[in-house]
Amino acid sequence: MDFQEINRRGLVMLGCGKMGSALLEGWLAGGLAPGSVHVIDPHPSDWLTAQGVHVNGELPGDPAIALIAVKPQMMEAALPQLRSYGGGGTLMISVAAGTSIAAYEAAFGAGTRVIRAMPNTPAAVGKGITAIIGNDAASDADAEIATGLLSAVGQVVRLESEDQIDAVTGVSGSGPAYVFYMIDALAAAGQAEGLPPDMAMQLAKATVAGAGALAEAAEDTPEQLRINVTSPNGTTQAGLEVLMNAEAGLAPLMRATVHAATTRARELKG
């Protein structure tokens, strides 16, 4: 991404925890000038203070970007610090969970360009995926800027409506936790069949990571990849007959899991 305009006008970060730090690390590596970055964070990390960025100092008057990356419970107290940027001059990008575009418009005023984004935790290793949606004031060019910035930590998809963010939360936002639990469960199953605990965990982690990488890299669909490794009457088929049970297998359980997370995301809005 070309950071020329951001380097000239500045970028303000409201909060710089794990997600903000992951983004900032990617931007700095990609050519963002440390001196153009201004961070507001009551508890800056040692890593952050060593990057040469401005921390809790005087802010620029008209930054190109203001990134909102604070926890929902801190939002009410934190947002007023950016109020002067409302009205259209600064593009507001939020990676904070649970705060709607309408809430930002109410806080910053009419004409404020807002992009709401839902990243996930694999962003910390550059393997995240982020869904974005802009308000009426945000242009396609603004969405392109947000896409370029958020691509520093993984893939980016664009939503058709803000309502879809709740489903995104249920799938990719909460999804890493489902996969982590599956790794634990797969390792425990291997241990129950006689494998040493450390070996069972190593096998489970590598299997899930490798299968995910193959699913992304292959031209075949995940369904076809499954078929490719399933010999008739073989070991994989025996396992899949349990996992693919229409009533008690993984598919109905996953539907219920994603539905529960999506429903909770809707409830938390208000």
Q: Are residues 59 and 91 in the same domain?
A: yes
Whether 50 has a pLDDT exceeding 60, the answer reads: yes
> What's the CA gap between 203 and 210, in Å, rounded?
10
Residue 259 binned pLDDT confidence (cut-offs 50, 70, 90): very high
Q: Are residues 26 and 122 in the same domain?
A: yes
Task: Establish if 78 belongs to a structural domain.
Answer: yes
Q: Are residues 47 and 68 in the same domain?
A: yes
Q: Are residues 63 and 100 in the same domain?
A: yes
Task: Judge contact between 122 and 150, C-beta under 8 A.
Answer: no
Domain count, the chain: 2
Output the domain CATH number for residue 192.
1.10.3730.10
Task: Establish if 120 belongs to a structural domain.
Answer: yes
Task: Establish if 169 belongs to a structural domain.
Answer: no
Whether 144 has a pLDDT exceeding 60, the answer reads: yes
Whether 7 has a pLDDT exceeding 80, the answer reads: yes
Q: Are residues 81 and 212 in the same domain?
A: no
Q: Whole domain around residue 217: which residue ranges?
A: 175-268
Q: Are residues 145 and 43 in the same domain?
A: yes
Q: Are residues 100 and 201 in the same domain?
A: no
- 150-155 average pLDDT score: 94
Q: Are residues 135 and 247 in the same domain?
A: no
Average pLDDT, the chain: 95
What element of type H or E holds 13?
strand 11-14
Q: Of 67, 27, 19, 71, give the one whose Cα is nearest residue 45.
A: 19
Q: What is the pLDDT of residues 164-215, one digit of tens each?
A: 999 999 999 999 999 999 999 999 999 999 999 999 999 999 999 999 999 9
Cα 17 to Cα 69, 119, 178, 262: the distances in Å are 8, 14, 23, 25
Whether 88 has a pLDDT exceeding 80, the answer reads: no
Whether 115 has a pLDDT exceeding 70, the answer reads: yes
What element of type H or E holds 257?
helix 250-268
Q: Are residues 160 and 261 in the same domain?
A: no
Task: Judge contact between 190 and 204, C-beta under 8 A.
Answer: yes
Last residue of a domain, one of 164, 195, 218: 164
Q: Are residues 18 and 119 in the same domain?
A: yes
The strand order across the sheet containing 11-14 reads 54-55, 37-40, 11-14, 65-68, 91-94, 113-118, 128-134, 154-158
Last residue of a domain, one of 164, 199, 218: 164
**pTM, full prediction:** 0.91
Output the domain CATH number for residue 127.
3.40.50.720
- 119-138 average pLDDT score: 95
Q: Are residues 156 and 219 in the same domain?
A: no
Q: Are residues 77 and 204 in the same domain?
A: no
Task: Establish if 262 belongs to a structural domain.
Answer: yes
Last residue of a domain, one of 135, 164, 193: 164
